């Protein structure tokens, strides 16, 4: 398989699909597993000791980090001023009251707008609670479609949380003395990723298309993730603060290093695939070796125990191998499950009469 053809396959992949290959399948409780209940139905125990910490990024821009000791749940952005509050991401519904309390430490302004950077539960789970406060929620169409379509991954029964404004191109907000750019990204971490840029504060919130804690999680497209990080790099300068969804905040150099790591590992895996190596043979070469110390250092668990793939690079390598193995036809699967499909106990899609098994 030629590299150009591999890139072509990766570029058209819609891997956030209910028909994804088994090699990319998630274990119960991991990110990427569809919620089995409406927002707020998550296991409350894992939220019991969550603290919300406030970081001042600029005169009127803040980030809120949630977790027992580090950013285990999605980072939230809050711009405040005379025009009201603009937010980036909703976090989980059980954290809603704590986030409101944290916001009220520095602002009593009305909360007006919220942008979801993608569809994962730690970014949209609290949508309904914010909507009931009168907040207008924006997202890519893919986010809304997944949330409101029965059988789709990340379906939510509570329609109050569905974004009411969707966008395919860039949109801008001009409020609180700031120019906010909301920029759709290529299919990367998911098929509906969005970057939010606060121009005057020189802060970028790219969601989860990059992270400083743990290896990338690719449910959209491998090469799309590389391109999405490239968008963020192009919008950055040496002084730009990158407030991504998880892990310690970084800068333009961090973006470049993260993108280069993905490219290096991708190219190594592609070369071995051209040589005819199986996934087990590829894993045996440990193609991420020189990055493991940095990428896995002090890595928190997102959902408690049972997440060994977050502690190893194996899932990342398997996702690369799976995507590079796909044909164009396999990459063009529907975004939602066909009528009649169900889910197994782990939230995985099951065709009528079929039994889902894991490798």
The CATH number of the domain holding residue 239 is 3.60.15.10
194 forms beta bridges with: 184
* Domain contains 341: no
Residue 157 near residue 143, CB atoms below 8 Å? no
pLDDT confidence of residue 49:
74
CA distance linking residue 110 with residue 80, whole number of Å: 9
pLDDT confidence of residue 222:
92
- Whole-structure pTM value: 0.80
In whole angstroms, how far apart are CA 179 and each of 146, 220, 230, 312? 29, 29, 21, 39
The bridge status of strand 73-79 relative to strand 51-58 is: unpaired
* Domain contains 205: yes
Q: Which of 10-19, 113-122, 224-233, 336-345 has the lowest mean pLDDT?
A: 10-19
pLDDT tens, position by position, 190-209: 999 999 999 999 999 999 99
In which domain, by residue range, is 300 found? 3-334
Furthest C-alpha separation in the chain: 61
The number of domains in the chain is 1
* Domain contains 357: no
pLDDT tens, position by position, 138-171: 999 999 999 999 888 889 999 999 999 999 999 9
Considering the chain, what percentage of its residues have pLDDT values greater than 90?
Answer: 61
Helices (H), 275-302: 279-284, 292-296
Residue 175 near residue 79, CB atoms below 8 Å? yes
* Domain contains 19: yes
* Domain contains 344: no
Residues 6+ apart with CB under 8 A from 104: none
* Domain contains 196: yes
pLDDT tens, position by position, 276-304: 999 999 999 999 999 998 888 766 555 44
* Domain contains 359: no
36 or 68: which carries more pLDDT confidence?
Answer: 68
Strand order through the sheet with 241-242: 171-175, 178-184, 194-198, 203-205, 241-242
Residues 6+ apart with CB under 8 A from 159: 148
pLDDT confidence of residue 115:
98
* Domain contains 293: yes
pLDDT category of residue 130 using cuts at 50, 70 and 90: very high
pLDDT tens, position by position, 311-341: 678 989 999 999 999 876 666 544 444 445 4
């Amino acid at each position: 398989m030629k590299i150009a053809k591999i890139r072509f396959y990766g570029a058209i992949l819609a891997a956030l699909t209910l028909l994804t290959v088994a090699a990319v399948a998630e274990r119960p409780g991991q990110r990427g597993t569809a919620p089995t209940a409406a927002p707020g139905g998550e296991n409350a125990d894992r939220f019991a000791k969550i603290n919300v910490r406030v970081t001042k990024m600029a005169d009127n821009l803040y980030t809120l980090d949630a977790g027992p000791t580090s950013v285990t749940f999605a980072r939230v952005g809050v711009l405040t001023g005379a025009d009201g509050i603009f937010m980036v991401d909703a976090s989980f519904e059980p954290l809603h009251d704590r986030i409101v309390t944290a916001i009220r430490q520095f602002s009593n302004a009305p909360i007006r707008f919220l942008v979801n950077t993608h569809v994962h539960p730690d970014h949209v789970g609290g949508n309904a609670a914010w909507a009931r406060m009168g907040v207008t929620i924006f997202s890519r169409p893919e986010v809304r479609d997944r949330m409101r379509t029965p059988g789709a991954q990340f379906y939510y029964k509570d329609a109050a949380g569905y974004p009411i404004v969707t966008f395919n191109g860039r949109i801008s907000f001009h409020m609180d003395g700031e120019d906010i750019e909301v920029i759709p990204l290529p299919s990367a971490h998911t098929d509906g990723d969005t970057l939010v840029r606060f121009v005057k504060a020189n802060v970028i919130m790219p969601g989860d298309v990059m992270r400083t804690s743990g290896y990338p999680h690719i449910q959209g497209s491998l090469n799309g993730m590389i391109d999405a990080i490239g968008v963020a790099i192009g919008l950055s300068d040496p002084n730009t603060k990158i407030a991504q969804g998880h892990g310690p905040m970084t800068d333009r150099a961090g973006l470049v290093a993260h993108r280069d790591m993905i490219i290096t590992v991708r190219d190594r895996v592609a070369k071995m695939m051209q040589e005819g190596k199986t996934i087990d043979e590829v894993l045996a070469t440990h193609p991420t070796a020189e990055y493991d110390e940095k990428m896995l250092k002090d890595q928190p668990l997102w959902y408690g125990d049972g997440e060994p793939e977050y502690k190893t690079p194996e899932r990342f390598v398997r996702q690369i191998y799976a995507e590079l193995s796909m044909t164009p036809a396999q990459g063009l699967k529907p975004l939602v499950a066909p009528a009649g499909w169900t889910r197994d106990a782990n939230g995985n899609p099951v065709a009528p009469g079929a039994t889902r098994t894991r490798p």
